[in-house]
Amino acid sequence: MKKTYILYSLVSLLVLSGTVIVTDHYKACVADGETVCFDQETNRFIVEENAELTVYVKNEEQKEYLLMKLTRDIVDYNLQINVEVYPEVTAWDAVHTLDGDIFYIQQLEAAMIHDQLMEIDERIGNLRSSLGINHLTKMINYEKTVFLPIFYEGLLFAYNETLLESLGFDVNDLDEKNRLNSLNDWQEIMDLLEKWSQERPDAKITSIFPFTVSEPWQLYAFLTAGKWQMFDSMDVSDPGFLSTDFYHSLIFMKDMFDKEWYFNNLDEKTWNYEQALINKESLFSIATEWMDWEDIAQYTNQEFSYSAFPSNGTTQLTPLVRVDGLVIKENDYPSLSHRIVSILQGLENMQILIDTYDANYVVAHDEFDKLNLSEKQAEKSLAYSYSVSEPLLALEENPSLLGWDFYLQGHVFEVLMQLFNDEITVEEAQLDLVDSYELWYNQHNK
């Protein structure tokens, strides 16, 4: 297997001069600007004297909380802590325009400056559970932990609870992923589609699920139906197109393509997810990030619920999600940096954000009972946890390009459209993608 390359310059991980030394857990140490010190008795990170750091936070409430928690440290150690509200920093900002030491950044942006990020002590990770969410950061944290996931952004599988209940479905009989037990598998949904194609209970219903082939990002979930994930081998030269898993995914896609998902013959190339959900035209749909579904639900007197995608047998489909999180940029005060991040990573700070900042929160499966989330916030957080992040593997000889760019540039979508239009077979689609990626890789890996 080839060495894994994370975007831009992970090679710099080998440069010892930029490495923060983490001391033995059980020995006292001095915060000297090179060492992360932790006091076992007080269960706190020891901070450096006369330290200066800039921290960017999400809102004023979080700023006030952080400064309150640091009050004693600021006085005792003569600290200069500059806390500013700057909700999300880009890689460009972090390098060229801002002086932030600790900030929130999208995972892909963080990967661009990976070589400038400080390794985060495992004791920070131990403050919180990672049950059910550890896979979201496996690539960026592959060789060392530099990123702590906090927020989600992406598409959600949704169902119209009001419509389902009016049609006699038991909306209280749910599985652990918040899906209806009677319709938590695509085969069950397809069986209902076949049944209602003969006679449906309400003429206003235009589909069971308004399946659309108009956009490649949302189609990724269906490509995971055979257990395939792009670059699952952590090798940028091998996206897995030749695998049996990908072949089974294409078979599933072909089955989806061959179904008549609309009772009114609507074109499946037309995006219809929002309209179908709002207008009670479909039992299930995909909720997009840019709409306020709680306001829509209240206005239309409906209830929309969110869950993991239906499975394909024993395989859980996984849509894409973008994750925003905390990082520490390399600085002269690693121990103070960890003290601050330990506060920002704590459940108390998380609750302040939940109460005051509108976002979708990364919550471990065993932490829902420790946080006061609204019903819909909890549903969304749980549903997002069954998603996957965009793969961040860069080409070895051209680290300005990701292997994932092949997907985003539409090469996979182009082949899928040929399969959708019956221009090629599943076998031809698979071989076409194997050859196309090899050609693309060889052309760009220079």
In one-letter notation, the amino acid at residue 260 is E
* Residue whose pair of structure tokens reads 């399946």 in the numeric block: 211
3 state DSSP class of 300: helix
DSSP helix/strand/coil, 363: coil
- What pLDDT, on the 0 to 100 scale, is given for residue 28? 60
Name the pLDDT band for 203 (thresholds 50, 70, 90).
confident
Cα–Cα distance measured from residue 354 to residue 346, given in angstroms and rounded to the nearest whole number? 12
Question: With helix as H, strand as E and coil as C, how does 104-117 read?
Answer: EEEHHHHHHCHHHE
The arithmetic mean of pLDDT across residues 78-105, rounded, is 96
Answer for the pair 340, 67: CB distance below 8 angstroms, yes or no: no
**DSSP, res 183:** G
- Over 90: is that where the pLDDT of 6 sits? no
* pLDDT above 90: percentage of residues in the chain: 86
> Can you give the pLDDT at residue 7?
46
Confidence band for 19, pLDDT divided at 50, 70 and 90: very low
- Which amino acid type is present at position 372? N
Average pLDDT over residues 116-143: 93
The confidence score (pLDDT) of residue 324 equals 97
Segment 241-292, tens digit of pLDDT: 999 999 999 999 999 999 999 998 888 889 999 999 999 999 999 998 888 9
| CA-closest candidate to residue 252, choices 280, 224, 218 | 224
- Residue 102 has a CB neighbour count (10 Å cut-off) of 25
Task: Mention every residue, 6+ apart, whose C-beta is less than 8 A from residue 195.
Answer: none
Residue 271 Rama label (left phi>0; alpha psi -120 to 50; beta): beta
Return the closest-CA partner of residue 342 out of 30, 23, 47. 47
- Yes or no: say if 369 and 150 are a contact pair by the CB < 8 Å rule: no
Nearest to 321 by CA among 158, 147, 152, 177: 152
d(CA 45, CA 55): 17
> What's the confidence (pLDDT) of residue 328?
98
- For 287-300, b/e burial (b = at least 16 CB within 10 A) is bbeeeebeeebeee
Amino acid letter at 379? Answer: E
Top pLDDT among 28 and 101 is at 101
Rounded to whole angstroms, the Cα distance separating 395 from 185 reads 37
Q: How far apart are CA 88 and CA 113, in angstroms?
A: 15
- In this model, does residue 23 exceed pLDDT 60? no
pLDDT bucket at 4, cuts 50 / 70 / 90: very low
Single-letter code of the amino acid located at 271? W
Task: List the one residue out of 213, 254, 168 whose CA is nearest residue 429.
Answer: 254
Q: What is the pLDDT of residue 14?
A: 29
**Predicted local confidence at residue 90, as pLDDT:** 97
The C-alpha atoms of residue 78 and residue 72 are separated, in whole angstroms, by: 10
- pLDDT grade for 12, boundaries at 50, 70 and 90: very low
Q: Are strands 148-154 and 320-328 parallel, antiparallel or unpaired?
A: antiparallel
Q: Per-residue b/e over 343-375, b at no fewer than 16 CB within 10 Å? A: bbbbeebbbbbbeeeebbbbbbeebeeebebee
pLDDT at 357: 97
- 341: its two tokens: 């991040």
CA neighbours closer than 13 Å in the CB half-sphere of residue 122: 7
Q: Which of 13-22, 136-145, 352-361, 402-411 has the lowest mean pLDDT?
A: 13-22
- pLDDT number for residue 42: 86
- The 10s digit of each residue's pLDDT in 209-252 is 999 999 999 999 999 999 999 999 999 999 999 999 999 999 99
Query: Is the pLDDT at 195 greater than 50, yes or no?
Result: yes
Numbered ranges of CATH 3.40.190.10 in the chain: 10-153+321-389
- Residues 86 and 72: their CA atoms lie apart, in Å, by 24
Q: How far apart are CA 380 and CA 387, in angstroms?
A: 11
Mean pLDDT over all residues of the chain? 92
Does residue 395 have a pLDDT over 80? yes
Domain 10-153+321-389, what fold?
Answer: D-Maltodextrin-Binding Protein; domain 2 (3.40.190)
Report the greatest alpha carbon distance in the chain.
Answer: 76
User: At 373, which amino acid appears?
Assistant: L
